Structure 1
């Protein structure tokens, strides 16, 4: 059995890719309110900051910063996945998520910027929209509201060719 090695850094900032088992599903955006509730529950039980996020039909990308002295991002993902899945059980959904997730420790400001850009451009990369601002389930809108990014960001899909935990093709 493969032993997964995670980089547990107390108070660290981490990029994640979390994927559904069925890559043809659109359950995440179909039940976005339930997903938001799952995130709120996880943050209430085990606080963390969401620095950036995008929710696509079958996967999501996020950057979390954990509190000082806390390195347990796995408990947060377990809580989010469980709360979301529990809400869908009545609809006949089960075995919804892939068992593991992609995690990357953010190393510096440039690494943070690259990953935030990747998150915001991801809907364009997947052909869901032609401009970053057209995708509603993204922290891009908060970044614009705070004056951190321009509202007219088009988002060239080729700008960042790294996969950051996604299958290509």
Structure 2
């Protein structure tokens, strides 16, 4: 069993990636989107945090959260969110993927990979890199030609706030510095093996 080490910094900003179980593409369905939207709304009321950026793709999503001052408990938030979405969506989605014996023993469903990837954002440049990665991710995966054409993203809100121009990422290859090369390895892994 791997020994995962996570950084817990009160009031910090984190980049996360959560992948569906066996990369099942249910997140962009109406049921998946509504379940996740409602889950985030309830989660933010019970355990406040700022959802700074998000991109929802069929089989995974990336997001940036900023926790309240003095609060470092993002694992509890992830447990709540994944549990809520599982309870509200699993019976409606009717996924064909069977639950393994290991998952059955842990009372886990067939919606999510067990673990998520997290990165503590260090500074403003790191934050901007993470936002760029999130908003360009649908283009990277061939789901659209430009971030402005992907409707399941915070890109449109960030355009309204003046963070991006509406044509950002159009006809240009966006390069990312830092740890994102390692992230692509994570996105292709199956953490339940």
- TM-score, normalising length: structure 2: 0.81
Mean CA deviation greater in 145-154 or 129-138? 145-154
> Deviation string for 1:81-119 (max 9, x for gaps)?
111111123223532101111000000000000000000
> Deviation string for 1:22-42 (max 9, x for gaps)?
21x221110211210011111
- Is 1:52 matched up with 2:25? no
Deviation at 1:157, TM superposition (A): 4.8
Mean CA deviation greater in 148-157 or 133-142? 148-157
Q: State the match for 2:116 in structure 1.
A: 101
RMSD of the alignment, in Å?
Answer: 1.6
SS in 2 for 1:50: strand
Bigger CA radius of gyration: 2
Gaps of 5+ in 2: 96-108
Count of aligned positions: 167
- TM-score, normalising length: structure 1: 0.92
- Is 1:2 matched up with 2:2? yes
Residues 18 and 62 in structure 2, CA contact (< 8 A), matched pair in contact too: yes
Distance 1:154 1:48 in 2: 28
SS in 1 for 2:188: coil
- Is 1:130 matched up with 2:138? no
Q: Which has the higher helix share?
A: 2
Q: State the match for 1:166 in structure 2.
A: 187
1:1-169 equivalences under 5 Å are 1-23=1-23, 25-30=24-29, 31-91=32-92, 92-93=94-95, 94-154=109-169, 156-157=172-173, 159-160=175-176, 162-163=180-181, 164=183, 165-167=186-188
Deviation at 1:121, TM superposition (A): 0.3
Residues 52 and 63 in structure 1, CA contact (< 8 A), matched pair in contact too: yes
Distance 2:12 2:74 in 1: 9
Deviation at 1:167, TM superposition (A): 2.5
